[in-house]
Structure 1
Amino acid sequence: MVNGRHLRFLAWLFLLGFVSTAFVIYVLWKGPATGRFTGAREFQSGENRCLRLFNPWIQTGNRHEFERTAKDSQDTNASHFLSESTTGNFDGYRCILENRTLSMKCDTCALVSSSGQICGQNKGSEIDRTDCVFRMNAAPVKGFEMDVGQKTSARIVAFNAFGLSLKAWNQGMKFIVWTNNRPQDIKHVVLYAKSNKNRDICMSTKEYIQRMDKLFEEETNHSRYASHTWLSTGWFAFDLLRHMCSSTRIYGMIPPDFCKKKNQPRGPYHYWDKTGDECDVYLSNEKSATGSHRFLSEKIIFARWAVASNMSFHTPEWDPKDYTNTRVTQFV
């Protein structure tokens, strides 16, 4: 027989279940926060067509693993999974199944960033007219073709976004994966490539990652390890395209001082994600003392590379020559 005590217990269970379900529905409706920042602003779907309700593909990874990852990058002979680099179009990456240097026939290139700045700009057909279109990580195309185009020649993918980015793979696309030289990350990518032989997957060499760490120090006068800095996927994309393409158009990348100016058209960090102010993410990371990207400092470097490598910026349009004398001084 059910007495009053049992009824109260069942009522509490029902209430707890109702509250939990309501909370889950609320989180799914709002969408997860993107990036490490505070004071995020929500961009309503009515502001432009990119910001519709979408199931966000959020890059995962634990930045607090920085010190261990950095040590592996320096000390571990992780490249034993692949042969050493030889001559080729770009010797920083080797394609796993054919054991060859990355090679692509590209004259004109487009690099489509993940920024919400590209929303509503109708650049899709212009992007598709270039020889090679490069995208980063899992940035979606379907549903956003008018602004980001349809063609994808290659995706430049971070090791900790590899699994998620596979959802965006399609026939004929190259996957160009950079790692931090940790054996477990390299082994994961190699084993996947060998068990999925219809997918062209190329991966960074140990020597190339070491070159990038040295290049960062030369460009910023900061050690990547001592400054607790993660290089962004944008860094690897820029370095690849400045060597591989005769000319490159970059879409959706703001200039280095954009977030410090007033009355700028702010947008979301990702064009497919409903929440997260891009500048909030950038400024928070720039000031962080532990395991962060230095997005704005990188853009100063990108501007110098762009001038030397026939690269131009669109949506928004800005002249990289305006920043050639700007130097990275400090992060925090």
Structure 2
Amino acid sequence: MKAPGRLVLIILCSVVLSAVYILLCCWASLPLCLATCLDHHFPTGSRPTVPGPLHFSGYSSVPDGKPLVREPCRSCAVVSSSGQMLGSGLGAEIDGAECVFRMNQAPTVGFEADVGQRSTLRVISHTSVPLLLRNYSHYFQKARDTLYVVWGQGRHMDRVLGGRTYRTLLQLTRMYPGLQVYTFTERMMAYCDQIFQDETGKNRRQSGSFLSTGWFTMILALELCEEIVVYGMVSDSYCREKSHPSVPYHYFEKGRLDECQMYLAHEQAPRSAHRFITEKAVFSRWAKKRPIVFAHPSWRTE
């Protein structure tokens, strides 16, 4: 081969190798880049005010894996499952919000006067899916307007291998065409862990902590809502006050677990526990930066 031909070949090879190297570097750094973008996105950043549907890539539809696309909510009611809601008489006020968030299997039937009857979004732990299936006609057949967002990690939520919980969600979408079911993506789950570590200085796994459904609900609400009123959530100091009344852990499970006893037991447990009180302290700090109001009991952020 003549010298000019060899030179051209060398140049072409160099260009190809350089392109491959750049692509590999970009791919390797992609998680870091996305994580950096998310860090700036939440929770201190302001929500976009441009009208029209927004794409929320942290939530993936079942079964097609498309991101959540919806209009943002101007006003949101986040309804706790706490026994604090009993006798509140806030049902009409809650239903007056543009979007109403509920958690796990918290029912509305029989409690409409206190918790309302509308459900725009329901955030569900993967462990609570079987509890909703016990009354699937109420939660799924009669609530077609509700958007379900399921969180969870590990093999039960695996889409590729067909984890147990994911298979159940898949069957539900086949039973009820048009049912809106989404899951937190793996990247979003990891990001929720990172938020916990950034806010508390503790690694979730190493500290033996399980995030609560309330944690994931608040993060979702902060993404979707311009204004948030949280109903039935006590402050982080509430259960250490001597004068607090005893209420059930869940408003729909009267006579069972006491709310504060549950919170304190989990907070003090060394492993495999929710950190309800720690989470509420974090929510209090978020309320200083974002339009979040706590109602019944009403309390101010310090």
TM-score by length of 1: 0.68
- For 1:171, give the aligned amino acid: R
* CA–CA distance in structure 2, aligned partners of residues 185 and 224 of structure 1: 24
- For 1:290, give the aligned amino acid: R
Report the identity percentage. Answer: 36
Inter-CA distance 165–150: structure 2 relative to 1 (3 Å threshold): same
Match for residue 179 of structure 1 among 136, 146, 152: 152
* CA–CA distance in structure 2, aligned partners of residues 221 and 175 of structure 1: 31
Does the CA-based 8 Å contact 1:123-1:146 persist in structure 2?
Answer: yes
Match for residue 160 of structure 1 among 121, 127, 133: 127
* CA–CA distance in structure 1, aligned partners of residues 267 and 219 of structure 2: 21
Matched, 1:200 2:185: no
* CA–CA distance in structure 1, aligned partners of residues 164 and 293 of structure 2: 33
Alignment of 1:53-72 (within 5 A): none
- Paired position in structure 1 for 2:217: 237
Q: Any idea what the Cα deviations from partners look like across 1:120-141, whole Å, max 9, x if unmatched?
A: 1110000000001010000010
Matched, 1:308 2:289: yes
- Paired position in structure 2 for 1:188: 167
Does the CA-based 8 Å contact 1:179-1:185 persist in structure 2?
Answer: no
Higher deviation after alignment, 199-208 or 169-178: 169-178
Alignment of 1:118-267 (within 5 A): 118-166=85-133, 167=135, 168-169=139-140, 170-182=143-155, 183=158, 184-185=163-164, 187-196=166-175, 197-267=177-247
Does the CA-based 8 Å contact 1:159-1:185 persist in structure 2?
Answer: no
After TM superposition, the runs of 4+ consecutive aligned structure 1 residues lying more than 3 A away are none
Q: Which has the larger radius of gyration?
A: 2
- Paired position in structure 1 for 2:70: 104
* CA–CA distance in structure 1, aligned partners of residues 226 and 192 of structure 2: 21
- Paired position in structure 2 for 1:291: 272
- For 2:59, give the aligned amino acid: Y
How many residues matched? Answer: 235
* CA–CA distance in structure 1, aligned partners of residues 91 and 165 of structure 2: 34
- Paired position in structure 2 for 1:276: 257
- For 1:151, give the aligned amino acid: R
Higher deviation after alignment, 181-190 or 208-217: 181-190
- For 1:257, give the aligned amino acid: S
Q: Which runs of 5+ in 1 are unaligned?
A: 1-86, 323-332
Higher deviation after alignment, 103-112 or 229-238: 103-112
Q: Any idea what the Cα deviations from partners look like across 1:173-224, whole Å, max 9, x if unmatched?
A: 1110011143225532553244232311001111111111111111111111
- For 2:166, give the aligned amino acid: K
TM-score by length of 2: 0.74
Q: Could you say which structure has the greater relative contact order, defined with CA pairs below 8 angstroms and 6 or more residues apart?
A: 1
* CA–CA distance in structure 1, aligned partners of residues 64 and 78 of structure 2: 26
Higher deviation after alignment, 91-100 or 232-241: 91-100
Inter-CA distance 186–210: structure 2 relative to 1 (3 Å threshold): farther
